Chain A
Amino acid sequence: MEFLINSLLLLMLVATVFAIVRLKRLMIGVMLMGFFSLLSANIFMVLDAVDVAFTEAAVGAGVSTIFFLAALAIVGRTSKPQNATRTFVPLAAVIITGALLVYASFDMPYFGSHDAPAHNHVVPRYLNDSPNEVGPPNIVTSVLASYRGYDTLGEVGVVFTAFIGVFLLLGAGTRKSGVERPAPPNVQAESMRQKVVLREVSDLLIAPVLIFALYVQWHGDFGPGGGFQAGVIFASGVILYALIYGIVPAQKVFPPRKLAYFPGIGFLLYALVGVVSMMRGGNFLDYGVLVHDPLHGQHYGILIIELGVGITVAAVMINIFFSLSERSL
């Protein structure tokens, strides 16, 4: 049954991708890409990767699609037909690469097999010992935040870098900093505000979305979720508000100039946990030394770094959305 659902979803993915390849209208292409992400999230769910499914749904189908739409609002929604010379070389390259991959696939451990090397070298320790070494029942959280916490710091670094890059290129979402603009001629937002159903539903949704984000933030130890998902969901709540009521009211609640500090604050919070553990005689990001009892130390360490992740991600996503959508005004 599992396999059947999985296969069906995969075939739907293939159909979606081919539709995207053939489409001229980018707007629909982007919507389909969001759909593609949502389908992938379903597959991740079927394949037991609940945290990944959660993230893919929030990021791929949510925030990332919104970024695309914001960009399309600026650059136009249709693409020119491709000229024929562009198709041959890519096609050849893709066929060669694909053939190499198919060739390799015959030596891959079969899907779902128990004795695949991937499950039997490093992973057993995570499964068997992490409840006693790190604590959280959600092993993904243990590995993400503690065993491979250094990677996750790098991941926050990537998000932070993207923020700085967008900020450097597009500005902070206040094009003329300090100058209060008149209400923007944002046709899209205006028309959205007039749609009663949309507005009412959003009004109902925004508060629960934000509360849900906080739940996801603090519940990541036990179930799927954690700082990253929480940050993205929180940001989606704010973006939803901005879409319905316009950017300006949203910026009143979250002034971009102040918000621009938060990615750095979250990043620093994360790294400083590591510095504190160094000062207490442990290695960088060794939460075990934070307090007297190592398991408690792990608990506090993970809690704080997840908070750092959440702050950075939420602030970055909101900021990038502001920066992109300001340009279309």
Chain B
Amino acid sequence: MIAGLFNYWIVIVLMMAGLYIVMSSGHLVKKIVGLNIFQTAVFILFISMGKIAGGTAPIIDSAITLYSNPLTHVLILTAIVVGVATTALGLAIAVRIHEAYDTVEEDEITAMDAQSLHEENTASLAAESDK
């Protein structure tokens, strides 16, 4: 059983580590690093389920009779592309955030946002009381 499920358990550890980085990290770029790790772990999950013991890569050759599952490979090829696309867009937004806030630490951004919200509310109250 341990041999049969070892891959999956490791994948679970990797997935959760990635997710942990996403959720716990305050640095926006590090969050994206976490997302990447999370997704890559999911890729390993798919590829692990596609492996057949003693099989080979699914490229037809008359000398070979046993091939691993090509469908999971296709799905993960697509998912890798999706992953890099998300990464690129996420980084672009992080860069814009850096230009707008001069920081990419989530705590500082939250504090600055709270500050501007507070100012707006005070302005609203002032406008209300003018009438």
Contacts and interface: CB of A to CB of B under 8 A. Distances in A.
Interface in B41-76: 43-44, 47-61, 67-74, 76
A201 interface: no
Interface string A98-112: 100110011011111
Interface stretch (B29-37, B113-121, B123-131): B29-37
Nearest to B8: A105
A76 B29 CA distance: 10
B4 A111 contact: yes
A47 B68 contact: yes
A64 B19 contact: no
A144 to B, nearest CB: 5
A234 B28 CA distance: 29
Nearest to B19: A94
Nearest to A44: B47
With most chain B CB atoms within 10 A of its CB, the pick from A2, A44, A71, A87 is A71
A47 B11 CA distance: 14
B10 interface: yes
Contacts of A119: 50, 52, 69
Nearest to B1: A110
Contact of A127 (B49, B51, B67): B67
Contacts of A166: 88-89, 92
Chain B contact residues: over half helix, strand or loop, or mixed? helix
Contacts, number: 297
Contacts of B3: 3, 110-111
A203 interface: no
Contacts of A152: 78
Given A37-B40, A111-B51, A140 B9 contact: no
B61 A228 contact: no
B112 interface: no
Contacts of A105: 5, 8-9, 12
Contacts of A87: 24
21 contacts: A18-B17, A26-B30, A37-B36, A49-B72, A70-B91, A75-B29, A75-B95, A79-B29, A80-B26, A89-B23, A111-B51, A118-B72, A122-B71, A123-B71, A127-B58, A139-B58, A140-B70, A140-B73, A144-B78, A165-B92, A327-B95
Given A113-B53, A118-B71, A148-B74, 8 more contacts: A13-B14, A17-B18, A50-B57, A63-B84, A101-B8, A111-B5, A112-B52, A166-B89
Interface of B: 1, 3-10, 12-21, 23-30, 32-33, 36-37, 40, 43-44, 47-61, 67-74, 76-78, 80-89, 91-96, 98-99, 104-105, 107
Interface of A: 2-3, 6-7, 10-11, 13-14, 17-18, 20-21, 26, 29-30, 33, 36-37, 40, 43-44, 47-52, 55-56, 59-60, 63-64, 67-68, 70-72, 74-76, 79-80, 82-83, 86-87, 89-91, 93-95, 97-98, 101-102, 105-106, 108-114, 116, 118-119, 122-123, 126-127, 130-131, 137-140, 143-144, 148, 151-152, 154-155, 158-159, 161-162, 165-166, 169-170, 222-224, 228, 313, 320, 323-324, 327
